[in-house]
Amino acid sequence: MRRWTLQWKLPNLQCRLWFHLLLVFSHVCVCDGDRVTGQTSANDCFKHERHTRNFDYMEGGDVRIRRLYSRTQWFLTIDEFGNINGTQDPNNCYSVLEIRTVSEGGVLAIKGLKSQYYISMNRMGTLQGKKEYDDSCDFKEVFLENFYTAYASVKWTKNRKEMFISLSQKGRPVKGKKTRKESVASHFIPRKCREDEKTLA
């Protein structure tokens, strides 16, 4: 009787071992047709989704010629005196901007193609134009969940909070210390320019 019991239990034990191994080796995530194991694959899928979503903004490589259209319905401009304002004229030549990548992590410099002034932010959060580039002209490109983009000063913060390029409902620049990433005044969409507008300088 004892021998028969051992022979009966042995197949059950083998089945359980095979079932356990099958569960372990079948734990995969499929991302773009590639099988990757565990948590790494989930992260890779997320990175690919973000890159795909923002691909249009990155088109053109390290230098992009764009208009920045605010969620408050103004185009960002830098005039011949370095003044920064908004315009609702979609053909305003001072709204054509050169957006240049200056370092890793989405750090950019934004320059008026016609005026040749850079957008900069001072310690108080005031936006102003500069003819010569320096680190006050560096802004970090922040991609938002609502498909808009925000631009935060790399050099300056207020009480450890980021300060953003913003245009009010009246098309006036908002001081950085009053800006927030969640505010519609800080949300922009980079719009492509016509080929003939890319040679205004």
For the segment 69-104, what is each residue's pLDDT rounded down to a tens digit? 999 999 999 999 999 999 999 999 999 999 999 998
What pTM value is reported for the model?
0.69
pLDDT higher for 163 or 22?
A: 163
Q: In this structure, what are the phi and psi dihedrals at residue 155, rounded to the nearest 5 degrees?
A: -80, -40
Question: Rounded distance, CA 86 to CA 70, Å?
Answer: 9
Question: Rounded distance, CA 107 to CA 138, Å?
Answer: 6
pLDDT higher for 187 or 8?
A: 187
Share of the chain above pLDDT 90, in %: 63
Closest CA to 78 of 66, 86, 90: 86
Mean pLDDT of 153-179: 96
**Structure tokens that stand for 169 in this block:** 């409902």
